[in-house]
């Protein structure tokens, strides 16, 4: 196993020119790695001869400047975590490339003027609260696809709406990249792992459980009592608890409202604790 650390595209291109035939997996992240990110890297290490884990806090996807500034940046620890995972896996002949550009111009070269539209799906749910977020995310992912031209790219289902938008980009631009989606990783209490959890104190961590617990209650109702009752429950929850920015049962393949015939669904929720927005979801098949 060889770990490379590159902070310029030129360094990557040089490596690639000497390793043209290696299958490449891409794992885009914003760093501050935790166990969930490592499940993506682990899968890529299994599937590919080389894996590029990118660490880039993308300014374009933060409509809120404060949120961008306070996003945790922990590069040394991230490198240590990725390296120790590779050692644990004994992925001896594999390459890990950690790509963490210091300069934004590595991703958006001077004069870069492109904006990838996230489309209709980018304007619902999270999109109604974070205007411009998904266009910024789509733009950076498209750039990363262009820079690295991976065979496969790995994303978590935790960001369910994001995953849909990325799959649309691949279709719209006829990219030859397989999108591998990985399950939501939770801690023992059920809280979905997130870099934002560290902004919560102990009391708030307990309050945060309301989100996953309510999603599980909704899932139970959907499976055992049917769509109507579950829908009523969801509307009541949102009305009674203003911390829910939304809680919705949607069709898993379109993210549109469900009908009496929808079989594959997803319960999506966002819960606000002070300035921290927590995101979670759970798929349900009836």
Which residues form the interface with ligand AMP (CB under 6 A)? 29-30, 36-37, 40, 155-156, 158-159, 182, 184-185, 192-195
Supply the minimum distance, in Å, between the C-beta of residue 182 and ligand AMP: 6
For the chain, counts of helices (H) and of strands (E):
9, 9
What DSSP string runs through 103-165? Answer: SGGGTS-TT--------GGGGSTHHHHSTTHHHHHHHHHHHHHHHH--SEEEEETTSHHHHHH
CB of 86 or CB of 184, closer to ligand AMP? 184
CB of 230 or CB of 250, closer to ligand AMP? 250
Strand partners, 134: none
- Which phi and psi (to 5°) does residue 78 adopt? -60, -45
Supply the minimum distance, in Å, between the C-beta of residue 149 and ligand AMP: 19
Q: Which two tokens stand for residue 99?
A: 């790509």
Supply the minimum distance, in Å, between the C-beta of residue 96 and ligand AMP: 16
How far apart, in whole angstroms, are the C-alpha atoms of residue 99 and residue 265? 36
Supply the minimum distance, in Å, between the C-beta of residue 76 and ligand AMP: 17
User: CB neighbours of 261 closer than 8 A, spacing ≥ 6?
Assistant: none
Buried b (16+ CB within 10 A) or exposed e, 15-46: bbeeeeebebbbbbbbbbbbebbbbbbbbbbe
CB of 177 or CB of 185, closer to ligand AMP? 185
- Which phi and psi (to 5°) does residue 117 adopt? -85, 135
Supply the minimum distance, in Å, between the C-beta of residue 191 and ligand AMP: 9
Q: Which residue number is nearest to ligand AMP in terms of Cβ?
A: 156
How far apart, in whole angstroms, are the C-alpha atoms of residue 145 and residue 203? 40
Residue among 37, 133, 164, 224 flagged as catalytic = 37
Q: Is 224 a catalytic residue?
A: no
Q: Which two tokens stand for residue 101?
A: 């550009």
How far apart, in whole angstroms, are the C-alpha atoms of residue 65 and residue 79? 26
CB of 38 or CB of 258, closer to ligand AMP? 38
CB of 165 or CB of 182, closer to ligand AMP? 182
Supply the minimum distance, in Å, between the C-beta of residue 112 and ligand AMP: 21
CB of 12 or CB of 155, closer to ligand AMP? 155
How far apart, in whole angstroms, are the C-alpha atoms of residue 75 and residue 58? 15
Active site residues: 37
């Amino acid at each position: 196993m060889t770990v490379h650390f590159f902070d310029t595209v030129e360094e990557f291109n040089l490596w690639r020119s000497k390793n043209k035939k290696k299958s490449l997996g891409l794992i885009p992240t914003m760093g501050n790695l935790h166990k969930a990110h490592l499940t993506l890297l682990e899968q890529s290490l299994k599937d590919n001869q080389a894996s590029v884990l990118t660490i880039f806090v993308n300014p374009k996807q933060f409509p809120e400047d404060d949120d961008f500034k306070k996003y945790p940046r922990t590069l040394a620890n991230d490198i240590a975590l990725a390296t120790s995972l590779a050692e644990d896996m004994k992925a001896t002949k594999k390459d890990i490339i950690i790509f963490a550009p210091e300069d934004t111009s590595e991703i958006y070269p001077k004069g870069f003027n492109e904006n990838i539209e996230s489309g209709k799906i980018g304007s619902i749910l999270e999109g109604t609260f974070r205007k411009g977020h998904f266009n910024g995310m789509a733009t950076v992912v498209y750039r990363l696809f262009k820079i690295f031209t991976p065979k496969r790219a790995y994303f978590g289902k935790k960001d369910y709406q994001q995953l849909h938008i990325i799959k649309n980009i691949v279709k719209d631009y006829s990219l030859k990249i397989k999108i591998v989606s990985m399950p939501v990783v939770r801690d023992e209490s059920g809280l979905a792992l997130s870099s934002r959890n560290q902004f919560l104190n102990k009391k708030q961590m307990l309050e945060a459980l309301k989100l996953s617990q309510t999603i599980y209650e909704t899932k139970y109702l959907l499976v055992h009592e049917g769509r109507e009752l579950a829908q009523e429950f969801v509307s009541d929850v949102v009305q009674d608890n203003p911390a829910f920015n939304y809680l919705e049962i949607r069709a898993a393949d379109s993210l549109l409202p469900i009908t009496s015939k929808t079989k594959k669904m997803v319960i999506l929720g966002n819960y606000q604790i002070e300035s921290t927005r927590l995101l979670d979801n759970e798929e349900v098949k009836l």
